[in-house]
Amino acid sequence: MIRTESLTKQYGKITALDRCTLSIPQGKVFGLLGPNGSGKTTLIRLLLGFLRPTSGQATIDDLDSYDRSLAIRRRVAYLPGELHIFRQLRGHQVLDFFTDIRPGCDRRQLENYANRLELDLTRRVSAMSTGMRQKLGLAMTLAAPTRWIILDEPTANLDPNVRDIVLTMIGEANHQGRTVILSSHVLSEVESVCEHVAILNHGQVIHVQDMHSICQHHRICARLTGPIPPMPDFRNNVELIKPSTAHKDDLEIRYVGDLAELLQWLATLPVEQVQINSIGLKSIYDRELANSSTLS
């Protein structure tokens, strides 16, 4: 597993990461969310041993990330947010170089990923667009024979159709038993491929949740023609129930849990209209950021 315990990084009076405690199990796709400056990249660099923590500890497979940084990097394939590649080399030469320095790397697999991403390997890196260099970095990262993959904004600068290919490739890597940590600003991407998500803000982990439970958050809007009967035992799963200001007979319920029992109760109400929507990751993300900003 990847574990952090009260992991903290300070630069003078600035706290980039503040007492971060996380557990990321093997074989999952784990999303890191948060605005710019929230601490996501600092956390990744501490996990890889690029930075010395001010306090606390990070471990991968029970190896200390800073003290055993070389061993950690043998186990992890990493795509940084800002990718720097030898500009004088052509694409196929970059793949040759990467094959030579990464033990166990399959050159054919590298080229297969590059072809799927529709990358022209005959071009020099200096003549490639930002998106093309991103594709080259993705091919090298996903083809590395490692159990852990860390991707920092992997779909930045990519066209929508290529983003879909990248998400498919991430899913394939996970089906092979590999663990993927995905740092992204694109909530829909995280929602589609991640099994767990952590939200960071102001250097702190403010929320951790699995996507299955997030999918159980719903908003139900109904228009009634009569009074509301007493609520059954699932009332603890109701986050909010209130009349709408738009119409005195309107009702809004925010519900967490299996919809079956709620629908059975709604069927007993004098309902004229009802609409059920999944709240989704964006609503939870916005809520947690707002709450953390208020507390700070």
Express each pLDDT in 241-273 by its tens digit.
655 555 556 777 777 777 887 788 888 888 888
Which pair of structure tokens corresponds to residue 149? Answer: 């993959």
- pLDDT for the residue 255: 79
Helix 130-143, helix 91-101: angle, nearest 10: 30
- pLDDT for the residue 6: 97
Cα 187 to Cα 32: distance, rounded to the nearest angstrom: 10
**pLDDT tens digits for range 35-64:** 989 999 999 999 999 999 999 999 999 999
- pLDDT for the residue 38: 93
- pLDDT for the residue 236: 57
Helix/strand/coil for 232: coil
- pLDDT for the residue 235: 59
**pLDDT tens digits for range 156-179:** 889 988 999 999 999 999 999 999
**Using 50, 70 and 90 to split pLDDT, how confident is the model at 295?**
low
Most confident of 167-176, 208-217, 277-286: 167-176
Residue 20 has pLDDT above 80, yes or no: yes
| Sequence-ordered list of residues with C-beta below 8 angstroms from that of 58, at least 6 positions apart, any chain | 2, 3, 4, 5, 7, 46, 47, 64, 65, 66
Residue 292 has pLDDT above 90, yes or no: no
Which pair of structure tokens corresponds to residue 152? Answer: 């920092």
Which among 2, 40, 4, 6 is positioned nearest to 24, based on CA atoms?
2
The whole-chain average pLDDT of the chain stands at 89
Residue 228 has pLDDT above 80, yes or no: no
Q: Give the residue-averaged pLDDT of 122-128.
A: 95
Query: Contact 191/206 with Cβ under 8 angstroms?
Result: no
Residue 140 has pLDDT above 70, yes or no: yes
